[in-house]
Amino acid sequence: MQLSPQSTNLAELARWSCETYSEVVAIRDGDTSLTYAELGEVTKKAAAAMIAAGVGPGDVVAIWAPNCWQWLVASMGISRAGAVVLPVNTRFKGAEAAHVLNTAEARIVFIVDGFLDTDYSGMLAAQELPSVQKVIDLSTSAFDDFLATGDEALFDEVEARTDAVTYDDVGAIMFTSGTTGHPKGVLVRGGAMVRSFSGWGAAMDVRRGDPYLIVNPYFHAFGFNGGIVMCLLFGATNIPFPVYEPVAVMQIIEREQVAIFPGPPALYQGLLNHPDLDNYDVSSLRGCITGAASIPVEMIEAMRTRLGFKDISTAYGMTETSGIVTYTLNGDPDELVSNTSGCVIDDVEVRIVDEEGNDVPRGEPGELLVRGYQVTPGYLLGDGGVTKATDDNDWLHTGDVVVMNELGYIDITDRIKDMYIVGGFNAYPAEIERMMVEHPDIGIASVIGVPEARLGEVGAAFVVRAPGSTITEETVIAWCREEMANYKVPRHVWFVDTLPLTPSNKVQKPVLREWAAERMA
């Protein structure tokens, strides 16, 4: 049976993939390996168990756990039961998780106690969770006991629930990071997830049976939409990995002969900077899907020569756009992959506007607006209501500053909120970072604005040196003065071994601001 991405939803995808790729290994997690046929059977039992537990169509079931085979089974079971998946950030503490669970009115919560030495069940026990009826540890016999309640007598109901899910139904609720307050629950249509990533996967030549390493956390759109959904669409083998660590990643690439490895640039830079890289066979790598930060041409060349990537695509998206708006195409030159985030996906519109909402010419910076099928229908409110995320004309205001070139490819200059003002000039960290990493002795850089008496704010750069480099602060600043306008030049340069990353492997700029305050005190 052919799959029509324009009309398919998560529930149908879960059923279709297990029937279509039945003999292919669907997931390999340590000693556990399941073919798509086997995944289909256990997923059906999981869906039946949801129904037996009283989960109804449209109900919400949460997964607060690291990447593992049980996460995949639970999420597919939730979808096939006609319910909504609520991925929860594994770094959340009890009160943060409670806010998410209560806002979404989750019925069941799946956890893995002990991940990162965290007592998830203990944290939940200390919270008021009126809607939660069950807490189940995926890593214990409790999950087996739960699956055992999925009686075959309920299988017809599973099929009926799967048939009843529509393209426009909400398939997941993904909460934003909450850097400016409580996280917001973004409603994500399941059909939009399938449709948007089917095009990207085809462009990236993801193939049946490709070992597909997923270090991006499943709770994030890059891990769920760009990982789980992508594997189900193309019959790739999902290789889950719970926490990024360069040596462990190189070992699993060699052992599993990984072909596709998505992630933000910091992950690849960590491998390229590692002194033991040449001791591992990473020649199986073929496809790389990246984004979330600038990536210099030299790094792309190193990814091709030292990591072996043939196909490298960079992209832009956000939770509110089902994780995708633009991506570069297979065969695009490295300069485009480096300097842009690609062109707009099919059937989606964008505008670039100034502060008054007027369209700006190509080549000029402005805020990116997006309108299309993959834009969220809204944010979930605590009282069960929904508030729109778009304006009256259905445009989503992303808060991202971009420039579009003559080919229609966009360059994400920065987040509006990350911009700082140096003596009246707007300074965009992403632009400065991209220029800095062109220096051969700079492995990666992250820039923030810090207070300064005369100019109001100035730039401060945290720099990870390239392997073997002994570059100094004075050298970096002098080089920057030669290469960029004076107001862009960082006044402070601090060297660090690593940058602090979020669970989705983005640089934690709030942490950098704390570090800067300590260094400047």
Which tens digits make up the pLDDT trace of 465-499?
998 899 999 999 999 988 887 888 999 999 999 99
- CB within 8 A of 313, min separation 6: which ones? 200, 203, 204, 287, 288, 289, 290, 327, 328, 329, 330, 332, 337, 342
What's the pLDDT band for 95 if we cut at 50, 70, 90?
confident
| Domain span including residue 47 | 10-189
pLDDT of residue 179 exceeding 50: no
* Count of domains for the chain: 3
Domain boundary pick from 366, 393, 417:
417
Instruction: Mark whether 411 and 437 lie in a shared domain.
Output: no
Cβ proximity of 464 and 273 under 8 Å: yes
Q: Which region among 82-91, 104-113, 148-157, 171-180 has the lowest average model confidence (pLDDT)?
A: 171-180
Instruction: Mark whether 373 and 449 lie in a shared domain.
Output: no
Instruction: Mark whether 410 and 481 lie in a shared domain.
Output: no
pLDDT of residue 438 exceeding 70: yes
Upper half-sphere CA count for residue 114 (Cβ side, 13 Å):
4
The more confidently predicted of residues 370 and 506 is: 370
* Position 357 in a domain: yes
pLDDT of residue 177 exceeding 70: no
- Span between the terminal Cα atoms of the chain, in Å: 65
Q: Which region among 108-112, 130-134, 318-322, 381-385 has the lowest average model confidence (pLDDT)?
A: 381-385
Q: What is the CATH number of the domain that holds 461?
A: 3.30.300.30
Q: What is the CATH number of the domain that holds 298?
A: 3.40.50.12780
Claim: this prediction has a pTM higher than 0.75 = yes
Phi, psi of 437 (to 5 degrees): -75, -5
Which tens digits make up the pLDDT trace of 357-374?
999 999 998 999 999 999
Q: What is the pLDDT at residue 180?
A: 41
Q: What is the pLDDT at residue 294?
A: 65
Q: Between the ranges 75-84, 263-272, 442-451, where is the mean pLDDT highest?
A: 75-84
